[in-house]
Chain A
Amino acid sequence: MTLLLRDPTAEIASALRPRRPALDTLVGKCVALLDIGKMRGDEFIDRLEILMNARGIVTRRYKKPTNTRSAPIEIIHDITLNCHAVVIALSDCGSCTSCSTHDLSIRWMSATFPESAC
């Protein structure tokens, strides 16, 4: 007799979304620099900020309380409202990368970046 079992999974599938088109230029745009709290992430972002500002790119700094969780919604909202692009650093391995991916994929990509910000 055929055995029927129940599915132990959440019965969901990944949604594939097209990537947002790249910005034509960063000049005059606002780039969020999100420090996720990993060791030496701040050094990386400090350097990036200097390099960007030198090229006329406006930056806006953010910091997650911990890399082990997805970002607080307030941070996501602020970035979404005020920035055109974001750099998340340093997501280099396991939990930090997973949480950063969530920050990008689940919340970010569904949000609408403003035409003008900063």
Chain B
Amino acid sequence: MARRFPPPWSVEDIGGCLAVKASNGRPLIFIYYAEAGGRRSLARLLTCNAALQGRCTSSETSAMIEIGPDGLVIFAKKECPTCNLVQPVAQELANRGRPVIVFAQDDTSFMDGLTVEDDRSLKQSFLHNIEAVPTFIRFANGREVDRTVGWNRSEWERVAGVVGLGQNLPAFQPGCGSKTREPGVLEHLIARYGDPGLTSRRREVGDWDDPVETAYERGRSDGLPVVPPTDERILRMLGGTSRKPEEVVGRVPPNLALCTVEKVAINAVMAGCKPEYMPIVLTALEAALEPIATLHGLLCSTCSGGPILIVNGPIARAVGMNSGINALGQSNRANPTIGRALNLIVRNVGGGRPGELSRATLGGPHKYTFCFAEDESDPEWRPLAAARGLPRDTNAITFFQGDGIQAFVDQRSRTAPELIRSLAMALFAVCHPKLCEFTNALLVLSPEHYGIFRDAGWDRGRIESELHKALIRPGKDLVQGAQGIGEGIDPSRADEMVNKFWPEGLLIVRAGGKAGLFSAICGGWTGGRFRDQSQPVTKEIKS
């Protein structure tokens, strides 16, 4: 087994073995000539010398201590038919005075009669960037000078510098994938043996400490367990985006702290996201950081509002988002973890912790996460993102500032006009029945309710216009003090007919299971009363 020691070293032949010594003279390792065959020991000696002479990098040095400066190496795994095919070739090379070291990725009993090194850790395979097996490499003076992949007689002859190899074998046979390239493996190897390229500071978890409990103790959790953000997981998460880890996404309130793609990935790991969610999480954050989204106010407000994310486009289906049964509730992995990632970013990067600058009087479960996909299965329905200006089938996310759901139950209205009146009655309750043009609202139409409109030939535009008409009431009934209730609209509007919402303030989206005449209303955050200063944001999702 190779051990790595930082240079400078010195090497001294002390008779029967070599002593590699640190700069203070303390022996680091003894290499016995007869330890594992003369050639290998000699190779190790030469490798040490090569390293001492500064001819190789630290990782190369580490690798060469195993391999030696000159020689032939095969990276192989037993489960690969081509690796088994070349076994007699390796033996043939040994017989012809060209010894080969085999690095076995899976089984060291492989390749009988040859020098086989255990590389089940995949360290050497990683350090030599092995993508397929068998990989056949020639080293000279401590450096790789030639390699080939799979079995190809002429190429093997070129690398080995001999002719007439494997005469009984077919001329060519492709190899198999290296175990280093199996899903999730490479990130582990980078974390262990390479440079992960991450700049966030490392935080140590004690040998006897539970990393999940540690996250609580350090204030990094929203109250639910978080996935520990190891380098392996972060690297895997970063694989879900083409954006560089160091790229700045924006400043996250309330501390207006710079947030990089790497910080997004760390929090996405903690939230439980999969790498393929990263483009959605990144766009959600970008949408939230648009000034018009007023994330700062939404987070710090004493009201109950929080981010509501609606995803449109093929990406929603590709990553397994739910737009059907229980779409707004617990149901799958993508919906809750994407929404949670955004809130964890606000908490951890932005410093928005409840009780500090996050000041909601009551809050609500939606402030953990509220994210779902729109049901786009009906080609006659114009999805939300399309209605808000993006081309149909664009991957997009809409950031809406809102509360948890208010269930809408109507199992008896059977015509579109009836249902419109019924929905309007429920929508009046948003914020307060007597408040108008005070906030926005999100109406989530279930399939059965939508079916009533569809059967009547009503499209999105018709539904919206009919709803707005039904949401107009006399101001005299709504002014402050009217009906014996202090709350209400400004008394100066008593003689007006007042709409509950501004024309752009009612967002309609389709979601839900096929059965049930039950829809949902999400009241908007009160910051929406500044009509031109706080609005929902729809943004295209890019990689």
Contacts and interface: CB of A to CB of B under 8 A. Distances in A.
B359 A69 contact: no
B300 A94 contact: yes
Nearest to B360: A94
B296 A98 contact: yes
B351 A10 contact: yes
Interface stretch (B122-130, B157-165, B259-267): B259-267
Interface residues of B, number: 54
A3 B230 contact: yes
B527 to A, nearest CB: 4
A82 interface: no
Interface stretch (A26-34, A40-48, A60-68, A108-116): A60-68
Interface in A1-22: 1-12
B204 A2 contact: yes
Nearest to B297: A68
Interface in B169-217: 198, 200-207, 211, 214
Contact of B200 (A6, A65, A96): A6
A95 B296 contact: yes
Contacts of A23: none
Nearest to A9: B348
Contacts of A102: 254, 256, 296
Interface string B216-258: 0000100000001111001000000000000000001111111
Contact of B256 (A7, A66, A106): A106
A94 B359 contact: yes
A19 B455 CA distance: 67
Contact of B530 (A11, A37, A70): A37
B231 A6 contact: yes
Contact of B527 (A2, A4, A68): A68
A98 B300 contact: yes
Size class of the contact patch on chain A: 20 to 34
B534 interface: yes
Which among A2, A10, A69, A96 has the highest number of chain B CB atoms within 10 Å? A10
Nearest to B359: A94
A54 interface: no
Nearest to A93: B302
B491 interface: no
B291 interface: yes
Contact of B533 (A1, A10, A66, A70): A66
Given A5-B205, A7-B201, A65-B533, A95 B297 contact: yes
A10 B530 contact: no
A27 to B, nearest CB: 36
Given A69-B294, A98-B296, A99-B296, A10 B302 contact: no
Contacts of B506: none
Contacts of A10: 252, 255, 257-259, 263, 348-351
B349 A66 contact: no
Given A3-B211, A5-B202, A6-B234, A66 B534 contact: yes
A8 B270 contact: yes
B233 to A, nearest CB: 9
A93 B301 CA distance: 7
Contacts of A11: 200-201
A98 B298 CA distance: 11
Given A8-B348, A65-B530, A99 B201 contact: no
B296 A8 contact: no
Given A3-B228, A6-B229, A6-B234, A98 B254 contact: yes
Interface string A63-101: 001111110000000000000000000000111111100
A94 B348 contact: no
B299 interface: yes
A50 to B, nearest CB: 24
Interface in B290-332: 291, 294, 296-303
Which among B202, B294, B297 has the highest number of chain A CB atoms within 10 Å? B297
Contacts of B258: 10
Contacts of B18: none
A97 B358 CA distance: 11
A66 B303 CA distance: 16
Which among B211, B257, B296 has the highest number of chain A CB atoms within 10 Å? B296
B287 to A, nearest CB: 16
B300 to A, nearest CB: 4
A62 to B, nearest CB: 16
Contacts of B270: 8
A76 B291 CA distance: 17
Interface in B501-543: 527, 530, 532-534
Contacts of A94: 300-303, 358-360
A68 B359 contact: no
Contacts of B297: 66-69, 95-96, 98-99
Given A2-B207, A7-B201, A7-B203, 8 more contacts: A3-B230, A10-B258, A65-B533, A66-B527, A68-B294, A95-B297, A95-B299, A95-B359
Q: Which 4 interchain pairs have the tightest Cβ spacing?
A: A68-B297, A94-B359, A10-B257, A95-B297
Interface of B: 198, 200-207, 211, 214, 220, 228-231, 234, 252-259, 262-263, 266-267, 270, 291, 294, 296-303, 344, 348-351, 357-360, 527, 530, 532-534
Interface of A: 1-12, 37, 65-70, 93-99, 102, 106
